[in-house]
Amino acid sequence: MMAIPMEDFVAISGCSGGGKSTLLAELRRRGFPTIDEPGRRIVVEELKRNGRALPWVDAVAFARLAIEVSLADRAAAEASAPWVFFDRGLIDAAAALEHLTGERVIESLGSVYRYNKRVFLAPPWPEIYTLDEERRHGLAEAVAEYDRLINVYPSLGYEIHVLPKVGVAERVDWILNSLVR
């Protein structure tokens, strides 16, 4: 496999319930192409069809499917805009699978399918964290995932930029200012 440089693909990762989806909605409102979180889309579809690839039913099947969806998202994304913003993506899914199974997938996938060197991480933010039909895990599990991701991305050569806990418009401005070429 050849590495595909995708400096225009920007990953927004981090803690569940940290405001990533709201942030992407604002980026979309401002005219930027965005890719919604694979995990949320999978959960919605699996719930509709009574499927088993759910994080609380079969987490390994869920992680494998998230990798597939993330690869399809990347293939379908147009890098013609200045940036395409991804709510989570391949590295997050690979990190989950590796955590669950011990399979060494992060390095092989992460070295071939790259994002912009700046990765934005939403930190744990208990004041806005909520559970819903698609997010059934507690804050402690979300923080544990965040702790794994904050180590995984730098191990692949990414620069971590932890998002400030400010309003959504300010967060978007902060990201865009950080990406100025």
Domain-located, residue 1 = no
Domain-located, residue 3 = no
In this prediction, residue 134 carries a pLDDT of 66
Domain-located, residue 2 = no
In this prediction, residue 123 carries a pLDDT of 87
CA pseudo-torsion sign 142, 143, 147, 150: positive
CATH of the domain at 124: 3.40.50.300
The CA-based dihedral angle spanning residues 96, 101, 144, 121, taken in that order and rounded to the nearest 10 degrees: -20
| Burial letters 96-121, b for 16+ CB under 10 A, else e | bbbbeeeeebbeebbeebbbbeebbb
Domain ranges, residue 160: 9-178
pTM beyond 0.75: the answer is: yes
Kindly give the pairing relationship between strand 9-14 and strand 34-35: unpaired
pLDDT tens track for 121-170: 998 765 665 656 665 566 678 778 889 999 999 999 999 999 999 999 99
The total of structural domains in the chain comes to 1
Domain-located, residue 4 = no
139 C-beta neighbours (distance < 10 Å), count: 16
Per-block mean pLDDT, blocks of 10 residues, the chain (181 long): 62 86 94 92 94 93 95 83 88 93 88 90 72 63 87 94 95 92 58
In this prediction, residue 113 carries a pLDDT of 86
Distance between CA atoms of residues 60 and 75, nearest Å? 23
In this prediction, residue 54 carries a pLDDT of 92
